[in-house]
Structure 1
Amino acid sequence: MAASKEQMEIFTFMGFLQDWDHGTKTVRHGILNDFINMNKGKTGPELELQFAQGASLFLTRLTAWLRLTYMVGTCVTEQLQAIGVFLSATSGHRYLVEVLEVGGLLTFLEILRLKQLREDNKQEALKLLQIIANAGRKYKELICESYGVRNVAECLANSKSEKTQEQAQILLELLAQGNPKYQLQVYKGLIALLPCTSPKVQQLALHTLRTLQAVVKIVHLCIVEPLLNILRTIHYEVQYEAIELIKTLLNYEVRQALLEGIVARLNPSMSDIKNRPKILDDESTANLAESIPLFVQQAAAGKVIGMVIQESAEIAEELLQLRVVHCLMIAMGNMEHADSQKQASLALEHLVRTFPVVEEHVRKAMGETLYELYMTNPEKLYLKMDLIQAGVLVGNKVNIPGLEEVPE
């Protein structure tokens, strides 16, 4: 009786394979959808039971058809989902090995590069790569050795779909964790994404860099310029991630370069407009005045300074050495951008209240009337200040002996 049942299962399975082998594209599409709906979440032993211990025979057909048709986009999403049923099956590690042996990894990575394929195709390929990466360190290394970091980073940068971008970001983070041989490669790949034209890509790259910083433990100086340039963005979610990453990196060896760059951006030159970041060239910002990104950057620099001097007296003293008081007062005199004035005023207020020597020299530079107006409500000074008082701030010469020297 048992033998008869087994023979019936084999006969049914062979009929299934025959339907696949002789089926048209439409027939195969239906077979794929039925397979996915019926078998999603099954374990390896359950799949073997379903296919009379011959599940690998169907998997082989799937991978072969995918390699033949993925470039023209034939049922790519369904094929990848069906392969995902095998790869995600508990106790189904052998399926993963079989897919890799026939070049499945290179096929998944190539799908990410093809412009003619749809975003959902790429999302499914990224999910399969995540499954492979989660299988262990040697599989993460295998992906990286196959130029996986470059392919995934390019997919993240070029995609117009947030779902695809998020899946790519998850994969990059996976490839860096528990993979010491290639974690620095992933880290550099994320830095290369910072000048990208997509705010979402910038946000994801910044967030991932901050997450991985404790893993990588070192910082490359090449991160400083692209990171500080992001302060020009009008997208506040991107600016938030940039500021948080800056605060994290102030604990590393790039602190001096970051502080110098932030102070320099308090008083940008209008010639910097020519070098504005590409993010400002998208359709939603095409009509902005060219000076706006510089004022946004100026305000962001003041905001960063205000945050870090409240959190660290040591950093506050280092900023004093970089003529920060002089630069903050010039930013406060910027009558064209209220937020620049506000952020600079708040940052300077903390320095004035913390360091008596700063209070003494700021009072002297402002004059008693303007100083009293300022200290009454620093946050609202820009609402009460006239052009003459703004000129006093811009033309200030604050020299604090032993701390900062401003040339006459």
Structure 2
Amino acid sequence: MGSAKQQTAVSKVMNLLHEWDKGSKSVRHKILVNFIEENMNKTGPELDSEFAEAASLFLARLTAWLRLTYMIGTSLTQQLQAITIFVSSSSGHKFLSEFLEVGGILTLLEILGLKQSKEIDKTQAIVLLQCVANSGRKYKELICESYGIRAVAECLAKSKSDQTQDAAKNLLLSLAEGNPRFCQQVYKGLIALLPCSSPKAQQMAAQCLVKVQPMVENAHPSIVEPLLAITRTLHLEVQYEAIQLINLLMDYSVRDKLLEGLIRSLKPSKEEILSGKQPEILSDQHKSGVLAPPLPVYVQQAAAAKCILLLCENSLERAETLIQMRVVHHLMVAMGNQDYADSQRQASLTLEFLCRTFPIVDDHVKEAVTESFYTSFMADPESLYVNMTAIQADVLLSNKVNIPGGNELAES
């Protein structure tokens, strides 16, 4: 026969379970709140001791109620928090196994996909999935086998909450690390996020790709177009992450395609420019004093010039490759774009670097423009666009600079 203390603990637990079984929604909600307050950060053995070695009976009731009510959201936040206490508890592996045995992963992934789910509940569901993933590779594989990568990626793309998106990003990174079977799938899922409509998701996807790319052997060709496309964004934080990723990919097989795309971006076609313009009949005449946002192709043009400067500064060998690909001609075209000052500024800074680094580039630029213009350009490339005349812009736009190949560059 047990001690009086044990008998008291057993009686307390039996009363709690009876109160749960017979209680209304409000009663159960109160039990959950009290449980969360009293048991946060307890270990598995401590939870078992608290419930007189019958903690699994309470967890079973929690998981059963969760499966019955998650679609209507009854105390969903508190249910998920309470289950997280069990699953994340140190030395509480049996609680994790019990949660998985009743289909816990699938339930959490369904919560992420429900339109009616609150952001706080999605965040808590991801936190609980993270606890599962933290338990080892086998559990990461279970999440991935349940189509978890897609569900978490879609949640990241569609969520309006920074907290939810941050939790989703961390979970995707966790599913890639130490999980060779599904690392490639996470990688492709992140690439699929690049074209999404959420700037925050685009930024996070690019951040994750910088970390995940070294985990996979080769860069997938499908990364090139969406990566170049997001350099058109007006969100500088997204553009920054895109440029960092492009810089990383210079060591992979997609390097040449990216360089070609960057150079092409310096000289947008007439079709691209016209497709980005709003028809005059649709413009608001009452907002004539408000500056219209720049065309996306011009934003991309400026970003390409900025990115090319970074690539050239990091590797003179890469700079030589770009020069042979006629980057000087395209930079001068971007400098002549009087529709967008930042294109002119970024292109000027990049061309000035090449002129000071490669004498042969300097000689060709001198020949292409007037002496006074060249002097002004080299003296202050960042502010050159301020006083540029229409004639000077035309000279830049119509330049025919074409620097020969590697031998002359090497000699210079």
TM-score range, shorter chain: over 0.9
What code does the residue aligned with 2:162 have? E
With over 3 angstroms needed to count, the CA separation of the structure-2 counterparts of 1:12 and 1:101, relative to structure 1, is: same
Equivalent-residue separation in structure 2 for 1:63 and 1:126 (angstroms): 16
Partner in structure 1 of residue 357 of structure 2: 354
Trace 1:257-406 onto structure 2 (pairs within 5 A): 257-272=257-272, 289=292, 291-402=294-405
- Shift in Å at residue 270 of structure 1? 4.1
- Shift in Å at residue 355 of structure 1? 1.4
- Shift in Å at residue 311 of structure 1? 1.4
What code does the residue aligned with 2:182 have? Y
- Shift in Å at residue 371 of structure 1? 1.5
Partner in structure 2 of residue 283 of structure 1: none
Q: Secondary structure at the match of 1:62?
A: helix
1:60-82 deviation per Cα after TM superposition (whole angstroms, max 9, x unaligned): 00000000110111111100000
With over 3 angstroms needed to count, the CA separation of the structure-2 counterparts of 1:24 and 1:265, relative to structure 1, is: same
Trace 1:40-79 onto structure 2 (pairs within 5 A): 40-79=40-79
Q: Secondary structure at the match of 1:151?
A: helix
Structure 2 unmatched ranges of 5 or more: 277-289, 408-412
Identity of aligned residues (%): 58
Q: TM-score, normalised by structure 1?
A: 0.94
Q: Secondary structure at the match of 1:250?
A: helix
What code does the residue aligned with 1:367 have? T
For the 8 Å contact 2:273–2:295, the answer to whether it is kept is no
- Shift in Å at residue 273 of structure 1? 5.2
With over 3 angstroms needed to count, the CA separation of the structure-2 counterparts of 1:161 and 1:293, relative to structure 1, is: same
1:175-209 deviation per Cα after TM superposition (whole angstroms, max 9, x unaligned): 00000000010010011011111111111111011
For the 8 Å contact 2:324–2:404, the answer to whether it is kept is no
1:108-163 deviation per Cα after TM superposition (whole angstroms, max 9, x unaligned): 11100000111111111000000000000010001000000010011111111111
Size of the aligned set, in residue pairs, is 394
Equivalent-residue separation in structure 2 for 1:128 and 1:135 (angstroms): 11
With over 3 angstroms needed to count, the CA separation of the structure-2 counterparts of 1:108 and 1:158, relative to structure 1, is: same
Q: Secondary structure at the match of 1:15?
A: helix
Equivalent-residue separation in structure 2 for 1:334 and 1:311 (angstroms): 27
For the 8 Å contact 1:266–1:301, the answer to whether it is kept is yes
- Shift in Å at residue 317 of structure 1? 0.8
Structure 1 unmatched ranges of 5 or more: 277-286
Partner in structure 2 of residue 179 of structure 1: 179
Partner in structure 1 of residue 168 of structure 2: 168
Structure 1 runs of 4+ aligned residues shifted over 6 Å read none
What code does the residue aligned with 1:235 have? H
Q: Secondary structure at the match of 1:242?
A: helix
What code does the residue aligned with 1:140 have? K
Trace 1:133-144 onto structure 2 (pairs within 5 A): 133-144=133-144
